């Protein structure tokens, strides 16, 4: 409607100008109409001026509107303009300006709110533009790194080389534990890197989280659990030894420090002494075995990793356990996603872990009507995952968070060392062990290994 009005006004002005030009042409050169020629000539000049002014003013109105948006100048008021062609458009232009102003205000408010959140987060955040310009470094990041407000990444490279080196070696979305020596103090930070691209510019967002206190709390909790179990096991062995020793002394002494004559020690006494000594020896052997298990847990050698074909590994372990499966009538299946699927690990240690898990599964399915154990392997994202699944009795929910604690066992005669040792070995391989259990249906232990490219260079054997 507005464009139609503008077109009509332009056509009307052009038509009037054309009519005036025709009239001027008809009387041009006639001496008796000289003054008429002057009048028509002046009118033509006036019409041309009016047409140019009309079009120029229209362009100026549009240019003013567009420039006000470009430079966010919200002081211009179009409602005061008297330009006839766009008089109906002025209220709409004014509304657009006010709406745009409101959007700018909301955007600025959101930006300030986001800055406030980033400022008071307990997680350190560093934003790096084009791998050099630091556009954001919040107070927690400054406090963690104990640095000034840097504007270039090269300052971080010079003052915190451990952090910069770790970040430069990280992939998008990767997180890593980084140890920094800051003012003579060792700090352990969880560092995560995200790469984004905004408006054709690349950004790196680095988050820093001080996990020292969390690690200390976790370690203290683990120590308390371990001490509680150690105390329980030691007391179970030492208490009967102490009791039997006291009984023996009572049998051998009339009074404290005064030994009975040998004539008073009959056959019954000697049999009782022998029985008590055998019991003491048995409990002592149990205690020594317990200490030996603990020594085994803390003395696992550094792995010598190599590339292992998982299918061959499964076949080797199956052959080792074949006798047990046949004797108990257990159905063992192996499933490999691909024949060339491989894992980077120490063969002897990984076989030990699998044997531990298979032994647990054998005990779990012993009383099932159709005992079944499955060894399976697959590639999941960037991990190679080996699983030991069985349809045994399973693990109660309230025990799942304790089964990896040293010397804790859900079995009556279990040592509680197998799963702890397996977890320790997986840690040495930069991997993890997880368990999911649905009692009576399926229990799955999963071993997740990183790919060789994700393994730190110090772990890879030359």
According to DSSP, residue 251 is labeled H
Alpha carbon of residue 27 to chain centroid: 90
Between CA 328 and CA 321 the distance in angstroms is: 11
How do 383-390 and 372-380 pair as beta strands? antiparallel
In the structure, what pLDDT confidence band is assigned to residue 286 with cuts at 50, 70 and 90? low
For residues 85 and 341, the model is more confident at 341
Q: What is the pLDDT of residue 327?
A: 83
Residue 310 contacts by C-beta under 8 Å, 6 or more apart in sequence? 336, 341, 342, 343, 377, 384, 386
User: What percentage of the chain exceeds 70 in pLDDT?
Assistant: 72
Summarised one tens digit per residue, pLDDT across range 214-254 is 666 766 666 666 666 667 667 766 776 777 677 777 777 76
Summarised one tens digit per residue, pLDDT across range 302-318 is 888 899 999 999 988 88
In the structure, what pLDDT confidence band is assigned to residue 4 with cuts at 50, 70 and 90? low
Q: Are 93 and 78 in contact (CB under 8 A)?
A: yes
Instruction: Write down the CATH superfamily of domain 121-210.
Output: PAS domain (3.30.450.20)
**Domain layout of the chain by residue ranges:** 2-106, 121-210, 215-298, 306-454
Q: What is the pTM of this model?
A: 0.47
Summarised one tens digit per residue, pLDDT across range 418-455 is 787 788 888 888 888 888 888 878 899 999 998 754 55
Q: What is the pLDDT of residue 453?
A: 47
pLDDT exceeds cutoff 70 at 295: no
Handedness of CA 393, 394, 398, 399 (dihedral sign): positive
Q: What is the pLDDT of residue 375?
A: 92
H or E stretch covering 441: none
Do 306-454 and 121-210 fall under one CATH topology?
no
Q: What is the pLDDT of residue 460?
A: 46
Between CA 445 and CA 54 the distance in angstroms is: 83
Average pLDDT on 286-308 reads 72
Instruction: Provide the greatest CA pair distance for the chain.
Output: 175
In the structure, what pLDDT confidence band is assigned to residue 79 with cuts at 50, 70 and 90? low
Q: Are 333 and 374 in contact (CB under 8 A)?
A: yes
Q: What is the pLDDT of residue 351?
A: 87
In the structure, what pLDDT confidence band is assigned to residue 190 with cuts at 50, 70 and 90? confident
Q: Are 341 and 379 in contact (CB under 8 A)?
A: yes
332: β partners: 373
Q: What is the pLDDT of residue 444?
A: 92
pLDDT exceeds cutoff 90 at 387: yes
Which of 78-82, 191-195, 329-333 shows the lowest mean pLDDT across its residues?
A: 78-82
Q: What is the pLDDT of residue 299?
A: 66
According to DSSP, residue 256 is labeled T
Could you please report the per-residue DSSP string of 378-427? EEETTEEEEEEEE-SS---GGGTTTTTSTT--SSTT--S-HHHHHHHHHH
Which CATH number is associated with domain 306-454? 3.30.565.10
Beta strands in 318-371 (DSSP E): 331-336, 342-345
Q: How far is the first Cα of the chain from the last one, in angstroms, to the nearest whole number?
A: 80
User: What percentage of the chain exceeds 90 in pLDDT?
Assistant: 5
Residue 443 burial (10 A CB sphere; 0-12, 13-18, 19+) = buried
* Mean of all residue pLDDT scores within the chain: 77
Here the contacts of 441-446 (C-beta below 8 Å, separation 24 or greater) are: 441/391, 441/394, 442/389, 442/390, 442/391, 442/394, 443/361, 443/364, 443/389, 443/390, 443/392, 443/394, 443/395, 444/387, 444/388, 444/389, 445/357, 445/360, 445/387, 445/388, 445/389, 446/385, 446/386, 446/387
Summarised one tens digit per residue, pLDDT across range 31-68 is 777 777 788 888 888 888 877 777 777 667 677 767 77
Q: What is the pLDDT of residue 376?
A: 92
Q: Where are the alpha helices (DSSP H) in 201-309?
A: 212-252, 267-298
Q: What is the pLDDT of residue 385?
A: 92
Greatest mean pLDDT among 182-196, 251-265, 285-299: 182-196
Summarised one tens digit per residue, pLDDT across range 99-143 is 777 777 777 777 777 777 777 777 888 888 888 888 888 888 888
């Amino acid at each position: 409607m507005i464009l139609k009005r503008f077109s009509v006004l332009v056509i009307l002005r052009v038509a009037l100008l054309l009519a005036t030009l025709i009239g001027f042409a008809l009387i041009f050169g006639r001496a008796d109409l000289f003054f008429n020629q002057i009048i028509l000539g002046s009118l033509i000049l006036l019409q041309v001026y009016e047409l140019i002014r009309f079009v120029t003013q229209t362009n100026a109105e549009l240019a003013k509107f567009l420039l006000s948006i470009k430079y966010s100048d919200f002081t211009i008021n179009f409602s005061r303009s008297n330009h006839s062609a766009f008089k109906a458009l002025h209220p709409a232009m004014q509304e657009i300006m006010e709406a745009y102003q409101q959007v700018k205000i909301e955007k600025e408010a959101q930006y300030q709110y986001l800055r406030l959140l980033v400022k008071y987060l307990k997680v350190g955040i560093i934003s790096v533009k084009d791998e050099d310009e630091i556009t954001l470094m919040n107070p927690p990041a400054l406090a963690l790194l104990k640095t000034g407000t840097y504007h270039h990444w090269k300052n971080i490279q010079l003052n915190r080389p451990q952090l910069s080196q770790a970040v430069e070696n990280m992939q998008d979305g990767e997180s890593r534990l980084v140890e920094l020596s800051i003012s003579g103090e060792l700090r352990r930070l969880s560092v995560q890197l995200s790469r984004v691209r905004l408006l054709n510019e690349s950004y790196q967002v680095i988050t820093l989280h001080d996990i020292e206190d969390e690690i200390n709390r976790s370690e203290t909790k683990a120590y308390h659990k371990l001490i509680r179990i150690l105390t329980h096991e030691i007391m179970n062995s030492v208490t009967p030894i102490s009791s039997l020793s006291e009984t023996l002394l009572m049998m051998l002494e009339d009074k404290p420090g005064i030994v009975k004559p040998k004539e008073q020690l009959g056959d019954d006494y000697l049999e009782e002494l022998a029985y008590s000594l055998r019991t003491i020896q048995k409990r002592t052997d149990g205690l020594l075995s317990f200490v030996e298990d603990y020594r085994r847990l803390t003395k696992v050698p550094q792995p010598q990793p190599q590339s292992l074909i998982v299918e061959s590994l499964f076949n080797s372990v199956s052959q080792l356990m074949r006798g047990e499966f046949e004797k108990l009538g257990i159905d063992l299946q192996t499933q490999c996603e691909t024949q060339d699927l491989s894992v980077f690990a120490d063969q002897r240690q990984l076989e030990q872990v699998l044997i531990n898990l298979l032994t647990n599964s054998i005990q779990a399915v012993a009383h099932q009507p159709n005992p079944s154990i499955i060894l399976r392997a697959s590639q999941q994202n960037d991990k190679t995952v080996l699983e030991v699944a069985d349809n045994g009795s399973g693990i109660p929910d309230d025990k799942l968070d304790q089964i990896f604690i040293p010397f804790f066992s859900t079995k009556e005669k279990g040592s509680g060392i197998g799963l702890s040792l397996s977890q320790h070995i997986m840690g040495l391989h930069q991997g993890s062990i997880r368990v999911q259990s649905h009692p009576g249906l399926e229990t799955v232990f999963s071993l997740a290994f990183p790919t060789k490219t994700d393994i730190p260079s110090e772990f890879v054997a030359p």
